[in-house]
């Protein structure tokens, strides 16, 4: 949390502590912010760094680039869990409306349902690991959801709602909204001693969502795919004002994933903006009924697509 003494700066080159003995799992590590997260973690000597990727050549390219950051013998590629529910891409930005082979909006399947599934699979391991972390990438883009009219309003009631075409931007922003209700709902589950939690104040995993700031990633190119000429014009205008994903765009989530201050300041279920300031998310993100509906819907979709769940 920012203070009058330290300000709101978190420099991953020097502020991440030594990570000896720690194991990290990073999704989307082949490019952009995900690569930045992986690079800075490797820079600080973890025991092991797993990068999740369904495309071997993307992972191989990332590992080659990671040689500049540390010992890549500690890096290992893993395929995403549950091949029956992977979606068309491991990560997705502002792209055209698309229903996956599983019958789910591709934005929501890749950016949230799969992330939820992975988090819940890892939860028992994280609970047994002192000082463990679970950090999710949200965005300030979670705020405008529903501003484009009734059809784009988010209630997380059923799959029919999820599979409506509400436009590329709202489809993407909805996934960024989902990260915050998830971490807040998980905090309530912990406090209620559910899901294997004991309700202890310092119980792991310390779980938070983070906003990266305005970052230059491959999303602008995806915006061109989604919006054509108008998207290209928007990219041309905004790219000069965007920050580098490796130098600055990954700072808030690296703070959430590595800093001892998370425990010192008791940050659990929070929304962190650059570099390490706790911010108040939208009223929609704080709606407990919305949080519970999202949780229920996600489990329902996963059970329908995968059968019995291991959690």
Distance of CA 297 to the CA centre of its chain: 19
- 307, 301 in Cβ contact below 8 A? no
DSSP 22-59: -EEEEESTTSHHHHHHHHHHHHT--SEEEEE-S-HHHH
The pLDDT tens digits for 131-183 are: 999 999 999 999 976 544 455 689 999 999 999 999 998 999 999 999 999 99
**Over the chain, what is the mean pLDDT?**
86
Q: What is the pTM of this model?
A: 0.87
Is the per-residue pLDDT at 39 higher than 80? yes
| CA dist., res. 176 & res. 129, Å (int) | 27
pLDDT of residue 215: 55
Per-residue burial over 256-273, b = 16 or more CB atoms within 10 Å of its CB, e = otherwise: bbbbebbeeeebbbbbbb
Where is pLDDT greater, at 1 or 71? 71
Q: How confident is the model at residue 79 (pLDDT cuts 50, 70, 90)?
A: confident
Query: What is the C-alpha separation between 273 and 130, in angstroms, rounded?
Result: 25
pLDDT digits (tens, 9 = 90+) for 217-257: 555 455 455 445 544 444 444 444 445 757 788 999 999 99
Q: What is the pLDDT of residue 87?
A: 47
Q: Is the pLDDT of residue 4 over 50?
A: no
Of residues 194, 198, 176, 173, the one with CA closest to residue 185: 194
The CA–CA distances, whole Å, from 167 to 170, 173, 181 equal 6, 10, 22
Pick from 61, 63, 8, 13: nearest CA to 41: 13
Specify the pLDDT at position 81: 58
Give dist(CA 238, CA 53) in Å, integer. Answer: 29
Residue 11 has pLDDT above 60, yes or no: yes
């Amino acid at each position: 949390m920012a203070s009058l003494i330290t300000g709101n700066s978190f420099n991953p080159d020097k502020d991440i502590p030594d990570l000896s003995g720690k194991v990290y799992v990073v999704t989307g590590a082949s490019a952009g912010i995900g690569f930045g997260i992986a690079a800075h973690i490797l820079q600080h000597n973890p025991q092991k760094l797993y990068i999740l990727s369904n495309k071997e050549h993307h992972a191989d390219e990332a590992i080659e680039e990671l040689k500049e950051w540390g010992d890549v013998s500690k890096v290992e590629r893993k395929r995403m869990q549950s091949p029956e529910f992977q979606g068309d891409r491991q990560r997705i930005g502002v792209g055209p409306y698309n229903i996956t082979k599983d019958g789910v909006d591709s934005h929501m399947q890749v950016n949230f349902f799969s992330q939820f599934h992975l988090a819940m699979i890892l939860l028992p391991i994280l609970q047994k690991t002192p000082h463990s972390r679970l950090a999710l990438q949200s965005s300030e883009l979670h705020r405008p959801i529903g501003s484009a009219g009734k059809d784009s309003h988010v209630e997380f009631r059923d799959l029919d709602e999820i599979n409506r075409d509400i436009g590329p931007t709202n489809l993407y922003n909805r996934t960024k909204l989902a990260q915050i209700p998830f971490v807040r709902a998980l905090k309530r589950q912990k406090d209620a001693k559910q899901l294997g939690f004991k309700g202890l104040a310092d119980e792991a995993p310390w779980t938070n969502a983070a906003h990266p700031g305005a970052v230059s990633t491959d999303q602008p190119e995806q915006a061109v795919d989604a919006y054509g000429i108008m998207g290209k014009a928007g990219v041309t205008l905004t790219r000069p004002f965007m920050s580098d994903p490796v130098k600055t765009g990954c700072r808030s989530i690296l703070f959430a994933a590595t800093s001892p201050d998370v425990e010192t300041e008791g940050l659990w279920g929070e929304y962190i903006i650059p570099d390490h300031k706790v911010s108040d998310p939208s009223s929609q993100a704080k709606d407990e009924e919305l949080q519970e509906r999202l949780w229920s819907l996600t489990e329902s979709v996963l059970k329908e697509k995968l059968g019995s769940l291991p959690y």
